[in-house]
Chains A and B, each alone.
Chain A
Amino acid sequence: MNFPLIPEQASTFAPNVDLMFYALTAFVGLFTIGITGVVIFLGIKYKAEPGRKSVHMESMKLELLWTVIPAIIALGIFVWGAIIYFDYQNIPENTLDINVIGKQWMWKIQHGNGKREVNELHVPVNKAVKLTMTSQDVIHDFYIPAFRVKQDVLPAKYTEMWFEATKVGTYPVFCAEYCGTQHSTMDGIVVVMEQDDYQEWLQGGPPVTPAQAGETIFQQMGCITCHDAGAASRGPILNGVFGREVALRGGETVVADEEYIRESIMTPSAKIADGYAPLMPTFPNLDEEDILNIIAYIKSLSDEQQ
């Protein structure tokens, strides 16, 4: 029977996190043994004896000492944890971007070239990978123990997480946020491949990129009728809108990021672009994958402009 006691280290985070984990384990272990040992020792040394007086002691010095020292240690742990946390939060430039959609009870993965997979994530070794994640329904959580990474996956929001795998192999993925009946089977694998193998694997994908798929939806759903550069367009022209500041009715502005685009499509009435009538209908049939494709398309329109 397989009986591992320590988790595999397969990302750049793992060694740093593990160092802190084992250091804290040693500290808490020693503290526990120490304080229990002292209690038992004192309990035996000062075992009740008829005729001996108990002596009550007070000591301001000691009180200060065991207030200040634990406070310093706690601050140290805070700082150490924060340093590791900055690593998690600092997403490097030039990542390989992959989309993840959680859905009761599976993971849909979408690679940049349009290749898709379910409950499997193929990534190249030694390359920073960024996952942009959202949920179709309830809150899930994408967790890869061997990489020591975890991030909640929320409906109507995009959360991001990055990692760099360091060891070729196959590792489990779990959903860590309780999400209903089949929560415990909402798992999968991440396959870390040599970079060349990964490229080869990727080529086996379908010819349609997300942006192309997005364009198709854009035409089929009739977005084009209002958002067409040519006509006396009823809606704003979407070329170049991604990443730009958009003026809203009422004088506010907002940066058109993924979340704004998503909201504009799913609840158009939430924020109305300045100078336009709130004409845009809702599209209840679009699922999160379609929306990611549309976003990719709108992004590609901006890229073309540059």
Chain B
Amino acid sequence: MANDVVQGPDFPERDYARPEVNYLNWKQTVSSWLLSQDHKRIGIMYLVSISIFFVVGGLFAIMFRLELLTPEGDLLQADTYNKFFTLHGVVMIFFFLIPSIPAVLGNFLIPLMIGAKDVAFPKLNLASWYIFMVGGTIGVIIILVGGVDTGWTFYTPLSTSYSNTHVFLAAMLVFITGFSSILTGLNFLVTIHKMRAPGMTWFRLPLFIWAHYATSVIQVLGTPVVAITVFLVGVERIWGVGIFDPALGGDPVLFQHMFWFYSHPAVYIMILPGMGVISEVIACFSRNRVFGYEFVAFSSVAIAIIGFLVWGHHMYVSGQAMYSNLVFSLLTMLVAVPSAIKMFNWTSTLYRGNVVWETPMIYAIGFIGLFAIGGGTGLFLGATGMDVPLHDTYFVVSHFHYVMVGGMVMAYLAGIHFYWPKITGKMYSQPIAKLCAVLVFVGFNCTFFPQFLVGWLGMPRRYHSYHPDFQVLNVMSTLGASILGIGFVIPVFYLGWSLFYGKDAGSNPWGARGLEWEVCTSPPDPHNFHEIPVVTKEAYAYTGEETLSV
């Protein structure tokens, strides 16, 4: 085998040509897609659907960023503005961020990476997509019949007793879409436990798998809670049962506890898979095994566990008792540690490696910079006293966009660019893609950095009109958003172009390690592997056997 040989950029040794028959072309009918139980095709169906939702969510953002060019509320009505930011949040969170990496790349790659022919429950996998699309259809209906204006957080009693928009439909949407997420998580858990190829021990798994394992645990344990919560919102709204509205004898802060019990861990549903992608990309483009593999693996698990215990950090000024706040603050600080561990290990992976500056690596490096800011500003917000002035201002908006877009979307793009040749068998233009990665990085910072400043100045979030002192920073942010928008559109063109005119990528264009690269063709065979591979080596075997311990 070639693995114990020196790995320079002239790697790989072994490459298969594009197969005549592959999962993309072996059946061509529409129903062969819509009824496919092939995890790869389902991954593609998710890719198409979430890309559409991303555009929809983005259009709402464009509209309200334009509104925010001036302090007065002139472009949109207040109600319209409120609906737009609500829909932006709902669409981006439930239909893009949560499913993005797990449902697209996770679906596509988990069986390939562990040497399985499919996920454990292929029919259930297809059902998840349909449930997801039912949720999406409800979303479209909500938009068509007039929207919803409670914010994606649905705080009571505004949502249950005061809003006269389509809160019930929105609650149904979250409820139903949640099941798609639960079932996907369940499927992955069973797949990872039961379907690993012979020799694929837990500590030979790629870190992408560890990250998805942790994510799936959160999905399975957390999502039912938000489903119950929004169900109760629906019950109170329709039948007037007093649960959250104090006028009916309920407690509005109870809602916040239940909501954040899911929605805080949900941020890890969104970021952990991204961290998994970053581990893969950095290992491959440093031609080195990830530094501290076990630490990176267990930090994912630690994040999933501690992440369930910190929800109260969203409620420091909600009237929550002082000592509860302090406990939540302490735990929040602890959850920063595993993320820091990952950052240091990734960085050290480059040390004495052979770094190749290809597009996915540029996104990964962008991720590290932006996630450092996103995570670091989380420390501001996790510290009780510091959070008081910052809570519910644009500082928070900027913080979570640094994590969700700067972190998660950058990781997603890193993953899409990394696995594109595997998924499609075609290679895109590197120079254009690299330039575009830089554009996204610059546009992102121009959009969101001013929001830290305007938040510290005191601008609250969800403001349709605002104090004139905040205008300059808002204009800067909107200008940055237009750069970012262009950065997001360009890949559609060059990736689309590559489908028709791109060079055949070969089975392992990056010289990467892992079953998906070394054993599978590009695009993979309909059944992934002709025979189940036997795994004999560690993940990321870029350097042969020797390890230098210091």
Are the CB atoms of B7 and A53 closer together than 8 Å? yes
**Contacts of A203 on B, CB cut-off 8 Å?**
none
Q: Give a binary string over A165-187; 1 marks a CB under 8 Å from any B CB, 0 the rest.
A: 00000001011111111111101
Are the CB atoms of A143 and B329 closer together than 8 Å? no
**Contacts of A5 on B, CB cut-off 8 Å?**
453, 457
Q: Give a binary string over B339-382; 1 marks a CB under 8 Å from any A CB, 0 the rest.
A: 01101111110111111110001000100110011001101101
Are the CB atoms of B317 and A152 closer together than 8 Å? yes
In the bound complex, CA of A39 to CA of B382 (Å): 27
**Interface presence of B131 (CB below 8 A):** no
Are the CB atoms of A39 and B347 closer together than 8 Å? yes
**Contacts of B453 on A, CB cut-off 8 Å?**
5
**Interface presence of A267 (CB below 8 A):** yes
Interface residue total, chain B, C-beta cutoff 8 A: 105
Most buried by B among A47, A61, A150, A172: A150
Are the CB atoms of A2 and B468 closer together than 8 Å? yes
Are the CB atoms of B543 and A24 closer together than 8 Å? no
Which of B351, B368, B385, B460 touches A85 (beta carbons < 8 Å)?
B385
A64 closest partner in B (C-beta): B295
Question: With A88-B385, A184-B463 in contact, do A71 and B155 touch (Cβ < 8 Å)?
Answer: no
**Contacts of B162 on A, CB cut-off 8 Å?**
104, 137-138, 180
Are the CB atoms of A4 and B368 closer together than 8 Å? no
**Contacts of A157 on B, CB cut-off 8 Å?**
246, 319
B5 closest partner in A (C-beta): A53
Q: Give a binary string over B115-158; 1 marks a CB under 8 Å from any A CB, 0 the rest.
A: 00000000000000000000000000000000001110101011
Question: With A67-B337, A74-B379, A156-B246 in contact, do A54 and B460 touch (Cβ < 8 Å)?
Answer: no
In the bound complex, CA of A133 to CA of B8 (Å): 67
A133 closest partner in B (C-beta): B319
**Interface presence of A217 (CB below 8 A):** no
Q: Give a binary string over B393-422; 1 marks a CB under 8 Å from any A CB, 0 the rest.
A: 100000000000000000000000000000
A75 closest partner in B (C-beta): B333
**Contacts of B325 on A, CB cut-off 8 Å?**
85
**Interface presence of B499 (CB below 8 A):** no
A105 closest partner in B (C-beta): B78
Are the CB atoms of B389 and A148 closer together than 8 Å? yes
In the bound complex, CA of A109 to CA of B386 (Å): 27
Are the CB atoms of A82 and B355 closer together than 8 Å? no
Find residues 462-479 in chain B having any chain A CB closer than 8 Å to their own CB. Answer: 462-469, 471-472
**Contacts of B466 on A, CB cut-off 8 Å?**
184
Are the CB atoms of B344 and A66 closer together than 8 Å? yes
Most buried by A among B82, B344, B393, B465: B344
Are the CB atoms of A27 and B10 closer together than 8 Å? no
**Interface presence of B431 (CB below 8 A):** no
B81 closest partner in A (C-beta): A184
**Interface presence of A40 (CB below 8 A):** yes
In the bound complex, CA of A181 to CA of B372 (Å): 36
The interface-forming segment of B20-28, B281-289, B514-522 is B281-289
Are the CB atoms of A78 and B330 closer together than 8 Å? yes
**Interface presence of A21 (CB below 8 A):** yes
**Interface presence of B384 (CB below 8 A):** yes
Are the CB atoms of A35 and B333 closer together than 8 Å? no
Are the CB atoms of A46 and B350 closer together than 8 Å? yes
Most buried by B among A61, A87, A139: A139
**Contacts of B47 on A, CB cut-off 8 Å?**
none
**Contacts of B9 on A, CB cut-off 8 Å?**
48, 50
Are the CB atoms of A267 and B249 closer together than 8 Å? yes
CB proximity of B385 to chain A, nearest CB, Å? 3
Are the CB atoms of B8 and A35 closer together than 8 Å? no
**Interface presence of B1 (CB below 8 A):** no
**Interface presence of A77 (CB below 8 A):** yes
Question: With A31-B376, A43-B355, A56-B547 in contact, do A176 and B460 touch (Cβ < 8 Å)?
Answer: yes
**Interface presence of A70 (CB below 8 A):** yes
**Interface presence of B2 (CB below 8 A):** no
Q: Give a binary string over B305-326; 1 marks a CB under 8 Å from any A CB, 0 the rest.
A: 0000000000011110010011
Which of B151, B352, B365 touches A54 (beta carbons < 8 Å)?
B352
**Interface presence of B58 (CB below 8 A):** no
**Contacts of B54 on A, CB cut-off 8 Å?**
none
In the bound complex, CA of A298 to CA of B6 (Å): 85
**Interface presence of B546 (CB below 8 A):** yes
Are the CB atoms of B386 and A32 closer together than 8 Å? no
**Contacts of A86 on B, CB cut-off 8 Å?**
385
**Interface presence of A200 (CB below 8 A):** no
Most buried by A among B7, B155, B382, B463: B463
Which of A44, A81, A152 touches B319 (beta carbons < 8 Å)?
A152
Which of B295, B322, B379 touches A28 (beta carbons < 8 Å)?
B379
Are the CB atoms of B155 and A183 closer together than 8 Å? no
Which of A60, A87, A183 touches B385 (beta carbons < 8 Å)?
A87
Are the CB atoms of A84 and B354 closer together than 8 Å? no
Q: Give a binary string over B165-208; 1 marks a CB under 8 Å from any A CB, 0 the rest.
A: 00000000000000000000000000000000000000000000
**Interface presence of B542 (CB below 8 A):** yes
Are the CB atoms of A63 and B352 closer together than 8 Å? no
**Contacts of A88 on B, CB cut-off 8 Å?**
385, 388
In the bound complex, CA of A51 to CA of B10 (Å): 9
Are the CB atoms of A61 and B368 closer together than 8 Å? no
Are the CB atoms of A4 and B384 closer together than 8 Å? no
Are the CB atoms of B542 and A183 closer together than 8 Å? no
Question: What residues make up the interface of B, taking CB atoms closer than 8 Å to A?
Answer: 6-10, 73, 78-79, 82, 149-151, 153, 155, 157-158, 161-163, 246-247, 249, 252-253, 286-289, 291-292, 295, 316-319, 322, 325-326, 329-330, 333-334, 336-337, 340-341, 343-348, 350-357, 361, 365, 368-369, 372-373, 376-377, 379-380, 382-389, 391-393, 453, 456-458, 460-469, 471-472, 542-544, 546-550
Known: A42-B350, A81-B329, A174-B458. 10 other contacts (CB 8 A): A2-B469, A28-B372, A32-B373, A51-B8, A67-B295, A82-B384, A87-B385, A137-B162, A148-B388, A152-B319
**Top 3 A-B pairs, shortest CB-CB distance:** A81-B383, A145-B458, A84-B385
